[in-house]
Chain A
C-alpha cells in the first residue's frame, strides 16, 4: 500500500495526468459522467467534501445538497483549457497530499473545523504550490457561481423571475427588508 502511494505521488509530481489513466483499471471511477477528465471515485468524493466544507449546510441547504460539486466538475470538464484541467487535477492531488502531511490523516477523517481551517490555511499561504492554490481558488469561485445559479438559490434564497413583466428605476431602500440580488 505504502509503495503504491509513493509511486503514485511520484507520478503526480512528474506529470500525473500521463500516468494516472494507466492506473484506472485498479481504481473505482467517479459516478459523474465527464467527457474529458478521467476522475476516480476518490477524487470525486474529496471534491464533494471540499464543497461541503466551503459551502456547509446549516439553516439553508449547502453546496453539496444543491449539487455544486457536480457543477464544478462539469465546468472544469467542458469549459476549462487543457492546461487548466491538468493544473486543477494536480492541485486536487496536491491537496490530498498536503492534508496527509499536515494532519497525518485523510481529509474525510478531519472534523468540520479542521477541514475548514486546513483549506483557509492553504488559501492564506501565498508560498503554497500554485496548482494547489489555484485548485482551491477555482473550486471556490465555481462553487459560488454554481450555488448562486442553482435552482434552490434562485427560487428559495434570491427568487429570480424569468418573466418579471416590470422593473423599477427608483425604489427607496427599506432596511428591514432583505436584499434580493435577483429582483
Chain B
C-alpha cells in the first residue's frame, strides 16, 4: 500500500511523467520541459551527473590498477553482464550487476542493462542511421509482423529535429535505403576502407555501399551544442567512461540537463516503477506507482500524460504488471499480444582478413567509429530463401608487429622497435530478425525481484532465417573480400545468445489495427491513449539500422503529439 506521503497529492501531480532517463526518456523529458510542462522523470538507478559522476574519465591507462581488466570476483558475480564488451575496469559502473535484477532465461538471453541517469546512453556504440521505407514497408511486403502505421515521410522531419540537436557526423551518401540526415563532417574512411568501398561499388554496379559510419559525435562547432555545454569530439575513443567534452551524445550530457535547466523538470532517482495506475472510472491512466529502491517505500505520482521509456523489456514488464479491472492482463493488453513479437539484431557473424596493399600507408589516432555497409540483400525484391537482410560494420587498421618471441634484450628490442605488418580488415553482421509470436517476454508470478515485482521470463532464439542469413553474409563477404584482394579470410560464428547486440525490440508494437498491435501511429496505447511507449518496445520490425536514433525521433514526434492533444483538451 502507498505510504501516507509527506508530499501532498498536489505536489505529486505533474503535467507529464516520463519513466526512464535513457536515450528516449531523456528526449521526452527535454520536449515536455521545454514546452512548459511540469515534468517528472523517474529513473530507477542512481544519479550520474555529466562529468561529476564519470570517475574514470580522466584516468591514464596506467592509472587503472588492472589496466582495464575485470577482477575475477566481479566476473564470477556477473556471468551475464561481464559478457558485454563494455564491462571493463573503467566502465562496469554503468552496467547493471546480475544480482540486482534476476530474470528467467527460458532460452539463453544476455540482458544488458544500465540503470542510472542516462541509462545505456552512456554506453552505446553511437551509430546512428535513419530507417527508410525499405524498412517501414518491409513487414507489409514480406508478410511478417504487421504493417508499420507510419512511413518514412512521417518520421523524416523528426529525424532532422533530433539530429540537429544531438550532432551526427556523416556523409551525404545519397543512398535511398539509408536516407541522408543533418550531418556534421564525417570521420571518413581510411585508405584501405576506401579501397574496399571502390571495389565493392564497381563489382556490384553501385548497388552495394561502403560508407563512413554515421555516428552521434560532434565534429564541428554549432551554437546548439555550445548551448548544451558540449564540445567537439576529441577522438579519445574512451566514450564508455562518459565524455568530459560531451563529444558524443548521451542523455547525461544533453537532454537531461537541458530539461532540468528549464526549471520544469524534476528528476527522481532510485525510483523503480512498479506499474502504471489505471482509473477504471475515468477510463485512463492517472499516474504511476513507484518503489523507492533504497527504502522500498511506495509512492504514487500523477499526470495526465505518461511516457514509458524504461528500455524495451522493462517497458513490457511495467505495462504487463499494470493490472486493473479493465486490463487484467496488463495495461492496454486487450489482444493478449503484449510481450510478444520480440526481435533483436543478429550479431553472431564476423569475418576477418588481411590486405597486403597500401603498404606505404598507415593511420594515426583513435577514430571513434568505423565504416558501414547498408543492407543490400532482398532490398528491391526477394532474392534469397530467407527474409530481409543485414547491414554490416567494416573496419581496417594497419597491423603493427612486435617480436615478443624471445626474452631479455630480444624482447625489449621487439617491444621498442615494432614494424608495420599487413592491414587487418574485419566486418561484423547486423542482421534483421523476424518478430514472432513465440518470441516473448512474460511475467513470472512465482519469482519476484527484491521489490516484489514479477521477474521477466525471456524466450527468444535464433531461427532458420537467421542461420541462412549468417551463411549468406559469410558467402557474400567472402566474395567481396576476395574481390578486394584480401587474404587469409576467416569467418567466425560466435554462437552468442541473443542479447549482447543490446538491440532487443518489440513486445508493445506499433500498428494500425488494435486487434494486432498495441500502439497506434503516435505511440499511444490503442486502448489507453494517455500512455505512450517510445522506446525499443514500440518497434514493429527491427530493420538493420542501429535503433537509438529512431527511438529518439519517435519520442520527439510522440511528445509533440501529446502536447498538442493536451492543449486541445
Contact = CB atoms under 8 A, between A and B. Distances in A.
A147 B62 contact: no
Contact of A146 (B67, B365, B420): B67
B114 to A, nearest CB: 24
A40 B361 CA distance: 51
Interface stretch (B159-167, B406-414, B531-539): B406-414
Interface residues of B, number: 46
Given A79-B70, A167-B363, A171-B363, A150 B62 contact: yes
B191 to A, nearest CB: 4
Contacts of A60: 412, 416
A48 B399 CA distance: 32
Interface in B54-111: 58, 60-62, 65-67, 69-73
Interface residues of A, number: 48
Contacts of B235: 164-167
Contacts of B70: 79
A147 B61 contact: no
Given A150-B62, A164-B236, A181 B418 contact: yes
Contacts of B417: 178-179
Interface string A146-172: 111111011001001011111111111
Given A62-B412, A144-B415, A154-B62, A54 B363 contact: no
A171 B61 CA distance: 26
A181 B234 contact: no
A58 B409 contact: yes
Q: Name the residue in B70, B408, B416 with the highest tally of chain A Cβ atoms < 10 Å from its Cβ.
A: B408
A169 B191 contact: yes
B101 to A, nearest CB: 26
B408 A81 contact: no
A79 B361 contact: no
Given A154-B62, A167-B235, A53 B408 contact: yes
A149 B62 contact: yes
Interface in A56-71: 56, 58, 60, 62, 71
Given A53-B408, A58-B412, A179-B420, A78 B71 contact: yes
A6 interface: no
B189 interface: yes
Nearest to A71: B67
Interface stretch (A15-23, A86-94, A116-124, A125-133): A116-124
Contact of B407 (A75, A78, A116): A116
B404 interface: yes
A173 interface: yes
A97 interface: no
A134 to B, nearest CB: 16
B408 A162 contact: no
B62 A151 contact: yes
Interface in A33-56: 53-56
A164 B62 contact: no
B376 interface: no
A148 B400 CA distance: 14
A162 B366 CA distance: 10
Mostly helix, strand, loop or mixed at chain A's interface? Answer: mixed
A148 B61 CA distance: 10
Nearest to A148: B415
A71 B69 CA distance: 12
Contacts of B190: 169-170
A79 B72 contact: yes
B60 A154 contact: yes
A163 B236 contact: yes
A83 to B, nearest CB: 11
A149 B411 contact: no
A1 interface: no
A160 B360 contact: no
A167 B408 contact: no
Nearest to A112: B408
B362 interface: yes
A157 B416 contact: yes
Contacts of A183: 364-365
B191 A170 contact: yes
Contact of A78 (B72, B187, B360): B72
A71 B71 CA distance: 13
B69 A75 contact: yes
B66 A162 contact: no
A45 to B, nearest CB: 19
Contacts of A160: 60-61
A162 B60 contact: yes
Contacts of A179: 400, 417-420
B360 A151 contact: no
A179 B399 CA distance: 12
Given A162-B58, A167-B235, A171-B362, A79 B407 contact: no
A165 B190 CA distance: 17
Nearest to B416: A157
B411 A55 contact: yes
B188 interface: yes
B367 interface: yes
Q: Name the residue in B66, B70, B72, B188 with the highest tally of chain A Cβ atoms < 10 Å from its Cβ.
A: B72
A104 B360 CA distance: 53
A13 interface: no
Contact of B365 (A81, A116, A167): A167
Nearest to B233: A165
A160 B234 CA distance: 14
B15 interface: no
A183 B397 CA distance: 13
Contacts of A171: 361-364
A80 interface: yes
B402 interface: yes
Given A160-B61, A167-B363, 15 more contacts: A54-B407, A54-B408, A58-B412, A60-B416, A75-B69, A116-B407, A151-B60, A154-B62, A160-B60, A167-B366, A168-B364, A168-B365, A170-B191, A172-B360, A181-B418
Q: Which 7 pairs between the two chains have the least Cβ-Cβ distance?
A: A167-B365, A169-B190, A170-B191, A151-B62, A116-B408, A149-B67, A78-B71
Interface of A: 53-56, 58, 60, 62, 71, 74-75, 78-82, 116, 119-120, 123, 140, 144-151, 153-154, 157, 160, 162-173, 178-179, 181, 183
30 contacts: A54-B407, A62-B412, A74-B65, A75-B69, A78-B73, A79-B66, A79-B71, A116-B407, A120-B407, A151-B62, A160-B61, A164-B235, A164-B365, A164-B366, A165-B234, A166-B235, A167-B187, A167-B364, A167-B365, A168-B363, A168-B364, A168-B365, A169-B189, A169-B193, A170-B194, A170-B361, A171-B364, A173-B361, A173-B362, A179-B419
